[in-house]
Chains A and B, each alone.
Chain A
Amino acid sequence: MQGDLSRLRNFVWPHQDDPKERLLLDPIPQEEMNQIMLRPMMKAGPGYWLTVALLALVVAGALFGYWFYMIRWGMGVAGIRRPVGWGVFIATFVFWIGISHSGTFVSAILRVFNAEYRRPITRAAELMTSFSLLAGAIFPVLHLGRPWTVYYMLPIPNQRLLWDNFQSPLSWDLLAITTYLLSSTIYVYLPMIPDLAMARDRTKGWRHVLYKLTSLGWRGLEYEWHYLHKTINIFAFAIIPIMFSVHTIVSWDFAMAKQIGWRSSIFGPYFVVGAIFSGVSAVIAVLLVVRKTMNLQYFLRKEHFEALAKLVLIFSFSWAYFFFNDYLIEWYGGEWVGHQLLTLQARGPIAPLWYGMIFFNIVVPWTTLWSKKVRQSPTALFFIALGIQVGMYLERYIIIPGFLQRQRLPFDWGEYNPQPVELSIAIGTLALFCLLYVLASRVIPLIPVWEVLEGQLSHSRRRIGKTVVTSIAELE
């Protein structure tokens, strides 16, 4: 009894959080919102152009310069040779395809599940999908050695007696990436139309012409909104299985081969989970930069980063589960070459990469992201997200050139040393991704203003008993 009374005395009424901290409970006039979005788009100071110039220089030199160098001197300038036929190029390809899952996951899945916090972050994430797919799609072409022969992938009558085999995993790749690139580009474009129309009405000169063409004559009529909503919903449902298929097919590039370490029935979900893990953390890093450089603090708030950080933590758990599952089966199987592969990771030349992967993908997220303070700290989140990118890149590197170093018979073992041309091209695609994003940030409204307004329309506060809670109305 005494204890009960003391508990009652210490009872604190439920904390009523400040509604102003939440974007959807903090409405401002629509025109003010438009201006917050448009103002940074119209301004491009010397810092911006310097960034563009530097990135363009890196793209020209590190990506295209070294690519032409490799075409001139042949694939021999890269470090790939027997037994490691796939190196940094393919690891980077898988990395970019993984990043491309950011947009679809954050936008489509959260849309389907009505996660309201998605509203201001969807477009910035969807753009990442399109740009990372473009960066990734370079690698299969580059890996051909003679990129002008890329049309061999098309089933056109020819005199070469070389025909495309659509039963091959590499052809699956081509179809899957093409489908994903087209669908994600349309998916980012559709919800952008009303915002492009808004920008059309507020700009002059070349921008007005650009927005006039891309807004297609949007007038905000009832039936336009209706068909837009309906089409976005169909896209959201359709693009999710496409997203799953893309990275599963990428994983089958490996799992279909009789290579030790690759032939795994869980590679599909393992790759998909890894892709979402790296994709969502990349969204955090990019959004933090966008927020800071474009003064979008009104739209991008602590609540959004906190929610994304929770997702990252969940996907870190999931990734660890798949990683352990894959590892344990190889270990328990007792196959001699498989054990050599595990030894290579634990004590061999790739051991630092393997431990680095575990550190960035498991140790760091698990020891930090449980804390609300960390989840709400932009600086901490930025570095954790970057660390996860490093960790996931290492994972791809270990799986691809790492595993290829140990074949079934020891006479076919070897080492792989990435050459400057490979590293430069990989860095070049990173610069290409950044360049495309930086350029897009001044042309494309990165925040879907109408979606935020729609969200604010559905959110309100109401009193229940002694407290005031947030209430969300179903608009449809």
Chain B
Amino acid sequence: MPRKVLLTGLYTDVHKAADALDGLRLLGLREEDLQISQGVPHSSKMLGRPHIHERIPWASIIGALIGFSIGFFLTYGTQWFFYAIRVGGRPYTSIPTSVIPLYEMTMLGLILGTFLNFLWKCGFPSTKPQYYDPIINEGRIAIMANIDMRYEEDVRRVMADKGAERIYEPERRPL
């Protein structure tokens, strides 16, 4: 099996980076072989990359449902199963007054579900050393291509032709 190599091409603007991605695709590289690292969020459309599908709203909805269930337990469950408080001759569990805890707990669940899903999707917190170059925060766009070693020369040539500022093999570094 041919050895793999990771090559990074640094670009100073999004036009050059998008052209380079086109060139690499023409060489036969698949989208999953390419990664972009950048300090300013250029969208997938700008770079000509496929849209990322995600399921964040589902996580938010699941979080909201869990929150609602906890709210239901606090308002109705405590009164039914643990203790019943009679206040001023009013019902133990009235809908108008229960709506507020239910609403707050639902929103809390939604928020936490969304946040936890973000961490999970991005693999955060990440403690392992990663391929990364801090120069991306100086306005550079890094295209990282994971390729067979035999195509290295071709990839280097395409990256250089499309205006790469520097082409190199990145190192894993602790973040």
Tell me if A219 and B175 are in contact (CB < 8 A). yes
Interface residues on chain B, size class: 35 or more
Contact B175 A450 (CB under 8 A): no
Interface string of B95-109 (1 = CB under 8 A from A): 001101101110110
Q: How far is the CB of A234 from chain B (nearest CB, A)?
A: 5
Task: State which of A34, A164, A454 has its C-beta within 8 Å of the C-beta of B137.
Answer: A34
Structural contact, B85 and A234, CB atoms closer than 8 A: no
A172 to B74, CA, bound (A): 11
Closest residue on chain B to residue A213 by CB atoms: B125
Of the listed stretches A97-105, A221-229, A278-286, A295-303, name the one at the interface; the rest are far from the partner chain.
A221-229
Contact present for B56 and A231 (CB under 8 Å): yes
Partner of A228, one of B39, B118, B130: B118
| Alpha-carbon separation in the docked complex, A385 to B104 (Å) | 32
Shortest Cβ distance from A107 into chain B, in angstroms? 15
Min CB distance A177 to B, Å, is: 9
CB distance from B43 to the nearest CB of A (A): 6
Asked if A450 and B103 sit within 8 Å, CB to CB, the answer is no
Hey, which chain B residues are within 8 Å of A30, CB to CB? 39-40, 137-139
Question: Distance (Å) between the CB of A248 and the closest chain B CB?
Answer: 9
Against B, the Cβ 8 Å flags (1 = close, 0 = not) of A158-186 are 00000111111001100110110011001
Residues of B within 8 A of A155 (CB): 74, 78, 82
Question: Is A220 positioned at the interface, with any CB of B under 8 Å from its CB?
Answer: yes
Determine, out of A72-80, A193-201, A399-407, the stretch whose residues face the partner at the interface.
A193-201
Instruction: Say yes or no: A31 contacts B138, CB within 8 Å.
Output: yes
Q: Mark B71-97, 1 if CB is under 8 A from A, else 0.
A: 000110010001101010010011001
Residue among A30, A197, A227, A239 with most chain B CB within 10 A: A227
Complex interface: chain B residues within 8 A of A202 (CB): 134, 137
Stretch of B3-11, B46-54, B148-156, B158-166 at the chain-chain interface: B46-54
Chain A 188-208 against B: per-residue CB contact (8 Å), 1 yes, 0 no? Answer: 001000100110111000000
Q: A201 — which chain B residues lie within 8 A by C-beta?
A: 134, 137
Q: Is the interface of A mostly helix, strand, loop or mixed?
A: helix
Q: Which residues of chain A come closer than 8 Å to B122, judged between CB atoms? A: 216, 223-224, 227-228
Determine the distance from Cα of A217 to Cα of B37 in the docked complex, in whole angstroms. 13
B142 to A, closest residue via Cβ: A220
A227→B56 contact, CB < 8 A: yes
- In the complex, per-residue mask of A337-363: 1 if CB is within 8 Å of any chain B CB, else 0: 000000000000000000000000000
Interface pair A235/B83, CB less than 8 Å apart: no
Contact present for B78 and A475 (CB under 8 Å): no
In the complex, are the beta carbons of B35 and A166 less than 8 A apart?
no
Q: Which residues of chain A have C-beta atoms less than 8 A from B112's C-beta?
A: 182, 186
Contacts of B147 in A (CB 8 A): none
A47 part of interface (Cβ distance < 8 Å): no
The answer to whether B125 and A220 touch across the interface, beta carbons within 8 angstroms, is no
The complex places the Cα of A168 from the Cα of B92 at a distance, in Å, of 12
In the assembled complex, the Cα of A29 lies from the Cα of B145 at a distance in Å of 26
Does A242 make an interface contact (CB < 8 A)?
yes
In the assembled complex, the CB of B106 is this many whole angstroms from the nearest CB of chain A, namely 9
A200 touches B82 (CB 8 A): no
B40 A227 Cβ-Cβ under 8 A: no
The reply on A215 being an interface residue by CB < 8 A is yes
> Which residues of chain B have C-beta atoms less than 8 A from A220's C-beta?
37-39, 136-137
Q: Indicate whether B110 reaches chain A with its CB closer than 8 angstroms.
A: yes
Nearest chain B CB to A231's CB is how many angstroms away?
4
Residue contact B52 to A223, C-beta cutoff 8 Å: yes
Q: Check if B41 sits within 8 Å of A167, measured CB to CB.
A: no
Q: Are B82 and A217 in contact (CB under 8 A)?
A: no
Given that A198-B39, A221-B36 are contacting pairs, would A182 and B108 also be in contact in the complex, using a CB cutoff of 8 Å?
A: yes
- Nearest to A225 among chain B residues (CB) is B41
- Whether B139 and A29, one on each chain, are in contact in the complex, defined by CB atoms closer than 8 angstroms, is yes
Inter-chain contact A216/B40, CB cutoff 8 Å: no
| A374 interfacial contact with B, CB 8 Å | no
Please measure, in the bound complex, the distance between the C-alpha atom of A229 and the C-alpha atom of B44, giving whole angstroms: 12
A216 and B119 contact, CB distance less than 8 A? yes
Cβ of A238 within 8 Å of any chain B Cβ, yes or no, is yes
- Interface residues in A134-160 (C-beta closer than 8 Å to B): 155, 157
- Chain A residues lying within 8 Å of B111, measured Cβ to Cβ, are 179, 182-183, 186, 235, 238-239, 242
Q: Which of B40, B101, B115 has the most chain A CB atoms closer than 10 A to its own CB?
A: B40
Q: Mark A450-463, 1 if CB is under 8 A from B, else 0.
A: 10011001000000
Q: CB distance B124 to A216 under 8 Å?
A: yes
Residue of A nearest to B90 (CB): A167
Nearest neighbor of B118 in chain A, beta-carbon distance: A231
Contact B175 A476 (CB under 8 A): no
18 A-B pairs with C-beta separation under 8 A: A31-B139, A34-B137, A163-B83, A166-B75, A167-B94, A167-B98, A175-B108, A178-B108, A179-B108, A198-B39, A223-B122, A226-B52, A231-B118, A234-B60, A234-B114, A242-B111, A245-B103, A245-B104
Q: Can you name 4 extra interface pairs (CB under 8 A) apart from A183-B108, A201-B134, A475-B46?
A: A165-B85, A168-B87, A222-B35, A454-B40
Interface residues of A (CB under 8 A from B): 29-31, 34, 155, 157, 163-168, 171-172, 175-176, 178-179, 182-183, 186, 190, 194, 197-198, 200-202, 212-213, 215-231, 234-235, 238-239, 241-242, 245, 249, 450, 453-454, 457, 475-476
CB-CB nearest 10 A-B residue pairs: A217-B126, A201-B134, A30-B139, A216-B124, A167-B97, A225-B41, A175-B104, A231-B118, A216-B125, A31-B138
